Structure 1
Amino acid sequence: MLADLEELVTCESFSADYAAVARSAHVVAAQGSRLLGTSPRILDIEGVTHIQWTFGTPRVLLLGHHDTVWPIGSLTTHPWSVADGVARGPGVFDMKAGLVQMFHALASLPSLDGLCVLVTGDEETGSATSRTLIEDIARTCSATFVLEPSAPGGALKTSRKGVSLYDITVHGRAAHSGLEPEKGVNAATELAHQLLALQAIADTVTASAGPGTTITPTLMSAGTASNTVPARAELSVDVRVPNAAAQEAVDQLIRALRPRVPGARLQIDGGPNRPPLDASSSRKLFALAVEQAERLGLGPQRQAAVGGASDGNYTAGVGCPTLDGLGAVGDGAHADHEHVITAEMPARAQLLAHLVGALR
């Protein structure tokens, strides 16, 4: 398993580099072919490369991704290594160890009939090219197992917040800031008003739909020169919601924003990206995981609700029961300390194999 993990980690696959993602897809395909005994379909959708194996009529979907947030060249600063039972390297935890565990779990089964394995190439950027594919397969299945990394301590992820993404553009009017500032419409000032309005929206939705909604301004820019009234300002907004009602309420309130500075105009793009993964979608599958882990002597299983989203949000969103976080045990997704506890990998693969076997 460690040799296979090294093979995947040392093939860098930054989401924004489509050529690197394509190279990674062929490495993943070759590794999966060796362990599963058959070649996959390699799908190029708008330049992004995905991999799919289908065995008979799918009833269970195993879902993962091979792209990472790490720019090409990250191996020079975060090299692959294994020391004292800890594996490190870009994407090792999120989520290349999960792919290795999945392939080895499936290789241990006497039959793969009724399974679909989908490894996408754009999860980290929102799954724009793979969402339809994921949802179409999930609609035909009775369960989805997501090989994203576990929550702290190896906990399975039984609920995830939904995600909405917005880009707010303010259109103002430029003017010389010294000679005639009164002739300008300051887009930066208008954007400041909108920042305060976004906080008020979060408070309103929390009061009506319950706690857990966060509205976070992230990227922001305004102006072109220090002596010019800004004619344009831009803001990206990351929204996380605990339930569908909160997601809908936030969307309506953001689209209802109006300018405060006379002459300014707002342009609002984006909207809901991933629906929430509700705990009800995972309840029966988590109970099955507890049962199977007990039979295997793996110890009690824990569950966690997390703020991050995954493609499991999509499968749950179309009504397919979904259990997430079945991948690696470790920590540091997207961070310098990203790592995997290697001793946990065989046990996690064994649990997945028994979960799949129990459903077929």
Structure 2
Amino acid sequence: MRPLSAMRRAAHEDAATMVDRLGELVSCESPPGSIPHLRACADLVAGWGEAVLGRPARRVVRDGLPHLLWSARDQRVLLLGHFDTVWPAGTIRQWPFAVTGETATGPGVYDMKAGIVQMFTALGLVADTSRVGVLLTCDEESGSATSRTLIERQALRSGAVLVCEASSPTGGLKVARKGGSVYRLTVRGKAAHAGVEPQRGVNATVEIAHQILAVQALASPSEETSVTPTVLAGGTTTNTVPEAATLAVDVRAWTRDELERVDLGIRRMATRLPEAVLSVGGGINRYPLTPDVALPLLTMAQAAAKDIGLPPPPGAHAPGASDGNFTGALGVPTLDGLGAVGGGAHARGEYVDVRAMPDRAALLAALIEQVLATPT
């Protein structure tokens, strides 16, 4: 085992390489669902992983999407992340990777490509990675539909899951995340001529408007539960009573009970217009990540930080969800936010503090060593 006092120094010696790799990874676009782009990004990342782990990645391809898995026989630690971003192909031409002073910007730099660079740097600092597994998926930003079972299977084989998603803007590690649900409400009405005989139609747009108000009423400000209508579509031509309309709904809550309350409320909603028909698709996607599975690992991370001369990172609560929600919901010890320090996820202003990257890599390495040294 490398002396912990030397880990931070070794990470800082790799600082320039980390920034170069970050530029290479950000420039290798990985938009959601674009299989050619995701394959190219997987190729790049797989090479980095093999170099530090000494074993090749297994490509788990589902619906054409290439997830990367380095499993370990006695898997004490699972490092979890994703290499897809929310940005469409071609964004890099309009908004290229750049480093200005101490800040790096570019599509996906914060969520979560800097976390991947830090992850592999950290693994290079760990003396023995034979009990460390790594899983990098490529559909997290679109809901993890093809990777969820893979994530859960690997988590259940592991003593702890360390999620290399971005930290809070102040460097806090995420000990709680809201859970989330996604719904698609579809209304079927009846078409008619909007000017000649609108009374013969059943207006799906009017019905979906009633449903928007009903959905919003399920929110609970006191519980910080949000129920947000998002994408709306309906109608065909301006002179036709719409016979169909759809509405997407995003739900976020801190507790399982709140997600289930909203779920029941949405499924019980009734139509207001005679002859309109409402159907509900979707449901609960991720249950919350709760502090009980994270706080023991936070304590270990704070001790690891002291060992390498860093201030102990605080715990943070994050409204957004991650794949760590899946592992925490299984009761597997899970700590999130071990990736980059920065901000602006999913916005053109997303950024990373490149000064913090070596220290975050060293912190992750020291935490891995602590978990490996803890008796099971």
TM-score by length of 2: 0.92
Deviation at residue 56 of structure 1 after TM alignment: 2.7
1:7 aligns with 2:24: yes
Deviation at residue 37 of structure 1 after TM alignment: 2.5
Deviation at residue 347 of structure 1 after TM alignment: 0.5
Structure 2: distance between partners of 1:114 and 1:249: 40
Q: 1:132 aligns with which of 149, 153, 158?
A: 149
1:26 aligns with 2:38: no
Deviation at residue 222 of structure 1 after TM alignment: 1.3
Deviations 1:300-337 (A, max 9, x none): 31221111110000000111111000000111111111
Q: How does 1:287-298 map to 2 (within 5 A)?
A: 287-298=299-310
SS at structure 2 position matched to 1:270 = strand
1:46 aligns with 2:63: yes
Q: 1:224 aligns with which of 223, 227, 236?
A: 236
- The 8 Å contact of residues 176 and 318 in structure 2, kept in 1 or not, is answered as yes
Q: 2:318 aligns with which of 276, 286, 306?
A: 306
1:274 aligns with 2:291: no
Deviations 1:197-222 (A, max 9, x none): 1122224xx6xxx6111000000011
Q: Which residue of 2 aligns with 1:109?
A: 126
1:156 aligns with 2:173: yes
* 2:312 aligned partner, one-letter code: P
Deviations 1:4-32 (A, max 9, x none): 21221111000121111111111110121
SS at structure 2 position matched to 1:320 = coil
Q: Which residue of 1 aligns with 2:365?
A: 353
Structure 2: distance between partners of 1:319 and 1:12: 34
Q: Which residue of 1 aligns with 2:11?
A: none
Structure 1: distance between partners of 2:41 and 2:59: 11
Deviation at residue 239 of structure 1 after TM alignment: 0.3
SS at structure 1 position matched to 2:230 = strand
Q: Which residue of 2 aligns with 1:85?
A: 102
* 1:91 aligned partner, one-letter code: G
* 1:51 aligned partner, one-letter code: L
Q: 1:143 aligns with which of 150, 155, 160?
A: 160
Structure 2 unaligned residues grouped into runs of 5+: 1-17
SS at structure 1 position matched to 2:240 = coil
Structure 2: distance between partners of 1:34 and 1:284: 31
Q: Which residue of 2 aligns with 1:99?
A: 116
Alignment RMSD = 1.1
Structure 1: distance between partners of 2:219 and 2:85: 30
Deviation at residue 34 of structure 1 after TM alignment: 2.1
Q: Which residue of 2 aligns with 1:337?
A: 349
SS at structure 1 position matched to 2:187 = strand
Q: How does 1:197-216 map to 2 (within 5 A)?
A: 197-203=214-220, 211-216=223-228
SS at structure 1 position matched to 2:241 = coil
Structure 2: distance between partners of 1:346 and 1:308: 25
SS at structure 2 position matched to 1:201 = coil
Q: Which residue of 2 aligns with 1:325?
A: 337
* 1:132 aligned partner, one-letter code: T
Structure 1 unaligned residues grouped into runs of 5+: none
Percent identity, aligned pairs only, is 48
Deviations 1:234-267 (A, max 9, x none): 0000000110111111111100011010110001
- The 8 Å contact of residues 216 and 229 in structure 2, kept in 1 or not, is answered as no
Deviation at residue 57 of structure 1 after TM alignment: 1.5
- The 8 Å contact of residues 4 and 31 in structure 1, kept in 2 or not, is answered as no
| Further displaced range: 143-152 or 298-307 | 298-307
Deviation at residue 287 of structure 1 after TM alignment: 1.0
* 1:273 aligned partner, one-letter code: N
1:72 aligns with 2:84: no
Structure 2: distance between partners of 1:36 and 1:337: 33
Deviations 1:156-177 (A, max 9, x none): 1110000000000010000001
- The 8 Å contact of residues 67 and 124 in structure 1, kept in 2 or not, is answered as yes
Deviation at residue 346 of structure 1 after TM alignment: 0.7
Structure 2: distance between partners of 1:86 and 1:196: 42
Deviation at residue 98 of structure 1 after TM alignment: 0.4
Structure 2: distance between partners of 1:103 and 1:349: 8
Deviation at residue 36 of structure 1 after TM alignment: 2.5
- The 8 Å contact of residues 169 and 342 in structure 2, kept in 1 or not, is answered as yes
Structure 1: distance between partners of 2:51 and 2:77: 21
Structure 1: distance between partners of 2:92 and 2:213: 41
Deviation at residue 226 of structure 1 after TM alignment: 0.9
Structure 1: distance between partners of 2:93 and 2:344: 18
Structure 2: distance between partners of 1:47 and 1:79: 28
Structure 2: distance between partners of 1:123 and 1:237: 18
